[in-house]
Chains A and B, each alone.
Chain A
Amino acid sequence: MKPIIAALAAVAMIFSFTVATGRTDDSTGFRQARERLVYGELRRQGIADTRILDTMARIPRHRFVPAALADQAYANRPLPIGEGQTISQPYIVALMTENLALTGSERVLEIGTGSGYQAAVLARLTAEVYTIEIKEKLHRRSHRLLGELGLENIRTRQGDGYFGWPEAAPFDGIMITAAVDHVPPPLLEQLKEGGRLILPLGNPFHYQNLVLITRRGDDFTVRQITGVLFVPMTGFALDKDRRASEDRP
């Protein structure tokens, strides 16, 4: 009887260990899927910055999603992470990061930590990352996970991102991943001269395009970046070959 009990206990322990560590284990399967996503799909979609590609190839996205969705972590689409939140589509993460034009010495503010994945990507590409999340559960979860990954150049905060992080301002880059219908004026004030602010438009499962705002003195230019999210439709009014000067009635 005793050997049977011991064997069962051992099996239970092994099973529990497997379940407990399954998400943290960066198995060969996950690594290969990640590399296929990054060096295959994202590159095909026009992401050219090799630093970003290499960074995303190293960060285990499957650790940022619920265990039940880990096998979908390296599909190029957004995933629900609970609390009505999503982890962004990898292409969106790459496109937003690419458009921040980071060289490695910047200080970046992220509004809406969410899963923490975007912050993790930024942390490997720049000097300092400040990230704010208003929802307590998400903040605790991402804070813990970013700590486990050993990303020491990230500072997290639970709070109202509308007012930014004035103590750490100004920022070279600001990324807003929370839903907004206007750009919070305090964030514009915390943007450095020449700084870039980026935010996605649409809903988390269907971002239409990105908005990139660049500061030049007191002026701001706004550029709509569609990437592959929007392919202009051909037709009478939207013929690509027509130049603007030809559009006068």
Chain B
Amino acid sequence: MILPAVFLLSASAIALEILLARVFSITQWNHLSFMVISIALFGFAVSGAALNLMEARRPGSAARLTTEPAIRRLVVLFCVSGIAAAAGITRLPLDYFRLPVEPVQSLYLLAAYLLPAVPFFFAGLITALAYAARPETSGRVYFASMAGSAAGALLPALLLPVWGEERLILICIAFPLAALGYGGRSDPARRGRRAAIRLSAIAGAGIAIGTILTVPAVSRLVRIAPSPYKGLSQILQFPDSHITRTRHSLQGRIDRIRSPYVRFAPGLSLKFSGKLPVQHPSFCDGDNPLVRYSIRHPDDLDFCRFTTSHAAYTLTGTPASVLVIQNGGGLAIPCAMAAGAGEITVIEANPILAGMLRAHYDLPVIRDAPRAYLARTDRRFTVIHLENWGASMAGAAALNQDHTFTTEAMDACLSRLSDRGVLLITRRLLLPPADSIRLFATAYEALAGRGVDQPENHLAMLRNWDTFTLIVSARPMENADRLKRFARERNFDPVFLPHIKPDTANRFNVFDRPFHYRAIQGLLAGYQSGTARAFFRTYPLDVAPQSDQRPFPGRFLKWSRLPELHRSTGGRLYSLLMSGEIVVAAVFVEAFAVAGILLLLPRWARNRVNQPPGGGRFRLFFLAVGAGFMFVELYFIKSYTLLFGDPVISFAVVLTGILIFSSIGGLCSQRLGRRGLVPSLLALMLCLVLLAAGLPPLISRVLRFAEPLRFFIGLMLLLPPGILLGLPFPLGMRLLPGSAEHRAEAWTANGCTSVLTSILSAQIALTLGIRAILISGFLAYAAALLGAVQWKVNGETGGQ
């Protein structure tokens, strides 16, 4: 019975993990959805520590807990605690926004962390029991766990559009009840009724699911509502404002709103005295609106000609073709229409939003990752408008991986411009200057990389009081005077123009100093004197261009300058806590402390004479294997974000693939004996070396393929490392002599390093780049190899 329970609970646990990330994304911001991985692994790690303690106190606990009645109880406890957790966290008055001003929010945050850890504890406990009680079948246990997890990873992707987050969470928690029908092999009297019992259990699970779907009171146990500070919550408080339709997908919950009070026009000049057209917003996860404009009359487009974005169109005249790369906002399409564009093509990665734009504007809207489209198409455009407003809070997007603002992305856009084409990007103006400098630098380096002499002659930047527009021209700007005139007429200030005069940089939207102008001038001086690296090093924020290996355009923090940043933003702690990177660091410190307790506590409780054979080497092995697996998995998740254009899709594909293939590896491990451990580690390390060298260029090539082929190739690339990843842990478990508590300790070690690695990987990627994650994985497996070799040398392995 235990293997079906492992399979079903693993499936449920992974599905729950993905859905909890969705819950936090909707109710809070991305900071907390990142925490979910840590919560799940924490639950697993605690289960190992608990089992270890139980064995230390009462030897034979593992065997007692693997009886069929005990397993049934654990399954029921998982379901009950899961429902309680899901209902509880969606009812907590947790609001991350208020954390700095309401101390009680930290208690709510703690509750939001601990409550969902409980069902993961029970799921982890069943798996730990399976390993502890039956080490000789570690490969099969591993297979059941990983295959179940893979199946669970697919469920949200397939079923979210059908049932939504609230009902699907309950369904995913309930279906493991089918495991109750398994068992009875040991009881001859029950053999005849085994099929009937199994069917009853499955029917019971089905009834539970049916109840969830049909009884509103049950499905309302879980209520997911965005923070009151999110845009959606704000607008629903206005009169005559309501949601007209909600659609769910792994990429986000899209709410369409009808409200007469939506007026989106960032960068609008004070000189505009007309009216804005009626607007129809849609919110993704309660924020990041995409607005569709009702254009009933040409006059409805007048407002576009008074925005900073329109500056680019003064250079091109009436453009023959415009490519809009859409990611929130919605201003780009009417801007292109206002310019009289001959052809407008829109790229939107979210299928729901793509459909809405297509239906509303009757334009060709391509549903694909922007980088994939740019790699694939041979079309050239007069204007490419990259619309992405980023986070409204400085620091909130620090963890966001985005491949549309890297030097490679800029190069891809430039390669798709016609001879007189321009690329235009409008974003929010921040203090201290950061985003504007980074984008300018990215464009400069992309132009230089294409062999352009004096890239500054191809660049322009305008601003008003809270937005800036960067214009990158395929040719040197011959008609910059048009931009100057446009800026003067609209009361915008140039941040940079070819041959800009300093006294024009701070004329209409006056700062105490022309901060942004000065920063760009300093950067340019650096490029021209060959000291740009020194500029980036000495600038108080990290504003260096991002690459596909380090694609975090929202990340500006320099830890060494943290005190200065704190002073610069008015000495308010709040501004720092909004930084996702600081949240990562805080979570890591907490997780490190907890991991230490979980690993040390059982050892203190254990009889000193009952130490595992090769204590240090055995721990090194399992700690390293746990870390290595997560490093490799996260490397693929981050690398594939470029391939699929969306971190959530990447997560789902990689998780499914790695788990399926590693489950096969686990089965294969059953055929390997003692001698297989070291060669399997060596083979894995060689595979990682090949990946480090070959995967990035391979992804660049595969990017131009159609989406189904990208998915297939991406999945197949996971096969060799996936199988190899599935070998070390079950082999180690099988070869580890000693008692159940030692195997429980191995499970704990694996869980603890998985938690720490998942958090650490985020910081490694931010600071050193994505490839450094794989290097870390290689080093982890090298450490595992060291442990395994010493194990073998000392003849301390048991089993076969």
Contact = CB atoms under 8 A, between A and B. Distances in A.
Contacts of A244: 502-503, 505-506, 513-514, 518
A77 B517 CA distance: 31
Interface stretch (A24-32, A101-109, A120-128, A220-228): A220-228
B518 to A, nearest CB: 5
Interface in B95-122: 95, 97-98, 100-102
Contacts of B227: 84
A188 B518 CA distance: 31
Contacts of A224: 465, 509-512
B397 interface: no
B270 interface: yes
A242 B518 CA distance: 9
Interface in B228-280: 228-230, 233-234, 237-239, 260-261, 263-268, 270, 272-275
Nearest to B238: A134
A248 interface: yes
Contact of B509 (A69, A83, A84, A222): A222
Contacts of B512: 224, 226, 232
Interface stretch (A9-17, A168-176, A203-211): A203-211
B393 A206 contact: yes
Contact of B502 (A209, A228, A248): A248
B570 A229 contact: yes
B361 interface: no
Interface stretch (B185-193, B373-381, B533-541): B533-541
B347 interface: no
Given A134-B261, A233-B568, A236-B535, A205 B574 contact: yes
A162 B261 contact: yes
Interface stretch (A48-56, A144-152, A178-186): A178-186
B670 interface: no
A187 to B, nearest CB: 10
Contact of A205 (B97, B264, B522): B97
Nearest to A240: B513
Contacts of A179: 234
B200 interface: no
A185 B270 CA distance: 7
A238 B518 contact: yes
Contacts of B465: 201, 211, 222, 224
Given A136-B239, A181-B264, A213-B270, A203 B540 contact: no
Interface string B515-546: 10111011111101000001100111100000
Interface residues of B, number: 79
Contacts of A230: 431-432, 568-570
B394 to A, nearest CB: 7
A160 B261 contact: yes
Contact of B239 (A134, A202, A211): A134
Interface string A71-86: 0100001111011100
A189 B273 contact: yes
A5 interface: no
Given A77-B101, A179-B234, A248-B502, A236 B522 contact: yes
B314 interface: no
17 contacts: A80-B101, A134-B239, A181-B466, A185-B272, A185-B275, A206-B393, A206-B569, A222-B270, A222-B464, A230-B568, A230-B569, A233-B565, A236-B539, A238-B522, A240-B513, A244-B505, A248-B521
Interface of A: 69, 72, 77-80, 82-84, 134-137, 160, 162, 179, 181-185, 188-189, 201-206, 208-209, 211, 213, 219-224, 226, 228-238, 240, 242, 244-245, 247-249
User: Which 3 A-B pairs have CB atoms at the shortest separation, nearest pair first?
Assistant: A237-B522, A84-B228, A182-B268
Given A79-B101, A224-B509, A244-B503, 10 more contacts: A80-B97, A83-B228, A203-B229, A206-B578, A222-B508, A222-B509, A235-B539, A238-B432, A238-B519, A244-B513
